[in-house]
Amino acid sequence: MKIFLLGIFLIFYSTSARAKDKHYYIGIIETTWNYASDNGEKKLISVDKEHSDIYLQNGPNRIGRVYKKALYLQYTDETFKTIIEKPIWLGFLGPIIKAETGDKVYVHFKNFASRPYTFHAHGMTYYKEHEGAVYPDNTTDFQKAGNKVQPGEQHTYILHADPEQGPGEEDSNCVTRIYHSHIDAPRDIASGLIGPLIHCKKDSLDQEKEKNIDQEFVVMFSVADENFSWYLEDNIKTYCSEPEKVDKDNEDFQESNRMYSVNGYAFGSLPGLSMCAGDRVKWYLFGMGNEIDVHAAFFHGQVLTNKNFRIDTVNLFPATLFDALMVAQNPGEWMLSCQNLNHLKAGLQAFFSVQDCKRPSSEDDIRGKHVRHYYIAAEEIIWNYAPSGIDNFTKESLTAPESASEVFFERGSTRIGGSYKKLVYREYTDASFTNQKERGPEEEHLGILGPVIWAEVEDTIRVTFHNKGAHPLSIEPIGVRVSKSNEGTHYSSSSGSVPSSSASYVAPKETFIYEWTVPEEVGPTYKDPVCLAKMYYSAVDPTKDIFTGLIGPMKICRKGSLLPNGKQKDVDKEFYLFPTVFDENESLLLDENIRMFTTEPDKVDKENEDFQESNKMHSMNGFMYGNQPGLNMCQGDSVVWYLFSAGNEADVHGIYFSGNTYLSRDGRRDTANLFPQTSLTLLMQPDTEGTFDIECLTTDHYTGGMKQKYTVNQCRRPSKSSYLYLGKRTYYIAAVEVEWDYSPSREWEKELHHLQELNVPNAFLDKEEYYIGSKYKKVVYRQYTDSTFSVPVERKAEEEHLGILGPQLHADVGDKVNIIFKNMATRPYSIHAHGVKTESSTVTPTSPANETLIA
């Protein structure tokens, strides 16, 4: 017994000995913050001074670049007298709080500001009194102690780094978490109160630094909206020269206060991101903000890995937490930017420096053994987004009155219609650029895209590029190794110099030869598919160049995986899809299109919202409303889909493949999520014959024409189906019209405002002269007991949370599911299931009072 107790004691002692109590002394101060440091702005060439002045220049009714903010600072001890300096690259973020699993963290918090704030941690465990968040939760006064720290007061928050909150089995040693004030979280964060918290696996740190990591950086991508700051009034009075004339509801004024920044620095002014070539660099990234905070963090000239997948762009949304490893390559100064093109133009850019401090750099040692030659020209064409003139889903004319397509295809006095002059990449046979390569049937689907550039690991890609257009252009590749002398992005470095070569600025009628390499560290990892989907585009002015049409697909594959013609071995079909909202308003050729296609060009108002909407072409490979050709395959084929996208915050896509499923890193799916400058490789083996839809289920994109058809043919002798269903399930589902109240009780809302000391109306819920309120007529799915549809199935307590949703339908693999659907509403509806095989590829509407069997 004594030995047993001794063993228990030793286990407890050793566990306790490894766990640490960590103390942080964090204070909140009010100070001023400059979003563009005095070291000078470094900007994309596309960002002229007139545009940057929208955000950085103060005036009679503009605040400018300097704002009053509240920030977290770290102190040495409980006296809160001596500040611990943080790395300069942290910007306005709070100090880094770091803990290993098992540690207990004490945050000794003091509020030096003029209003109450708190400290609320993500990714740690705490008791209610240490939550630091204000909301109605039926807690006692004792448990509310840390929910509102008044000016001049202190509170100690105790956090536990429990395993359930820490890195998982597939995660890296240290993962990204955050902390922020949470009285009114959106306004507290907009005022400046947010910081990083790093949670690490046990024994992964050495002197507070992750083992086997040379450098670590934390970056927050955010449109910091100063309109939500508690200090907006103070900033107007301090920095606007005529504050009494400021209209806070003016859209232009509000936009001037949205600071597109990395760690609070805009237009490339973030200092201190420096590393050595060969360094193992850990990046901790997170997003924060509003619905426009759809970010694509792109590390120019580098590749990263996350969970052993190769990446180059990180998608960030509000409260998205991410980490990635980068082995720094290619000495030089490189851009870290948001490839959401609106954000890029508005200044969401930073720079990092890769220094050659370990060994002399040489481009020769990265050249591949096999050189693949491409001859690509940029040339002008007239592009028709729907050559048939027909919506192939409704079979109606695209200009039919009141149709969804009319706005995009009607041509008139001030409307361009469905054809535009564009610049595109096209492939030629040699450097004379006289004989253009003809596209075969398998390339027909590429449409507006440039030719496929493909390579294997250890190859060198040599692209001879000739600019036949009237504007300076370039080629910027994503997913290969690029030296500074071959970079296609045109921007100023910190020294103010421009790349010495013409790689980033190929003048009209000029030619440049690009050389890129494919070392193993940029190719697919053991967890990646055989080939990675990538892209290339012109980046003199990325926004205008891409929307003008200059973009194409690229695939990077494992060594020995391709046939001589570039087709992947053991694959029957390969398709490339580029869903995007082509914004022709941003095209380099907009004025020419107005002159060519409108009948009264002098009357066109380019700022008119209706005109602008008519030029936003919701397309796949430049095709709309089912006009894309060539998406044909055979039942049982091995098919690879390469998806990639570019654009702005509107380009959040849910690409749905009806009728079949695919495999990706996320498992088996039928819908792929795609964001600006992201790419996916999807593996499909179609098992159902018929014609099916590929469509973006983002509602505006779907109605705007971002939908196509693909056909699965029966090319081989059909085998007799011997599949035996193991079970059969039948559900009776009806479409029922109801009155739905989005907020049947306003008590929680009122209590929240009371706790936040706010008295604000709710435009969504208050019923007034011009507002509907919280109640709406809706049509919902509801389950019934049998085919009489007379007795609804009562929902159990555990189903109460489903709310407006229809019933949960359950099935095991091998089951056959029959749905008897009755339309008890007043207009036609249907029911369609994702992720299962249906007997018919056609979704047929059910008229009111009728029933349909779906199997």
Q: Show which residues are catalytic.
A: 696
Q: Find where tokens 């003199």 sit.
A: 540
User: Is the Cα dihedral 427, 428, 431, 432 positive or negative?
Assistant: negative
Q: Which residues pair with 634 in a beta bridge?
A: 713
The single-letter DSSP state of residue 4 is: H
- 3-class state of residue 14 by DSSP: helix
- 3-class state of residue 643 by DSSP: strand
CB-based contact 692:652 (threshold 8 Å): no
For residue 786, count other CB atoms closer than 10 A to its CB.
11
Angstrom distances, CA of residue 124 to CA of 121, 133, 169, 220: 6, 14, 17, 20
d(CA 370, CA 392): 45
CB-based contact 128:143 (threshold 8 Å): yes
The single-letter DSSP state of residue 147 is: S
Joined tokens for residue 359: 């060994």
Residue 579's nearest CA partner among 480, 679, 481 is 679
DSSP β-ladder status, 639-644 and 667-669: unpaired
DSSP β-ladder status, 274-276 and 349-355: parallel
What is the number of helices (H) and of strands (E) in the chain? 12, 47
d(CA 348, CA 350): 7
CB-based contact 191:230 (threshold 8 Å): yes
For residue 776, count other CB atoms closer than 10 A to its CB.
11
d(CA 196, CA 204): 18
d(CA 271, CA 274): 9
Joined tokens for residue 288: 């924060």
d(CA 548, CA 470): 12
Residue 124's nearest CA partner among 75, 166, 174, 65 is 166
d(CA 657, CA 845): 20
d(CA 15, CA 175): 22
Q: Find where tokens 């697919």 sit.
A: 524
d(CA 247, CA 631): 53
* Angle at the Cα of 140 from the Cα atoms of 137 and 142, rounded to 5 degrees: 125
- 3-class state of residue 65 by DSSP: coil
3-class DSSP string for 588-603: CCHHHHHHHHCCCHHH
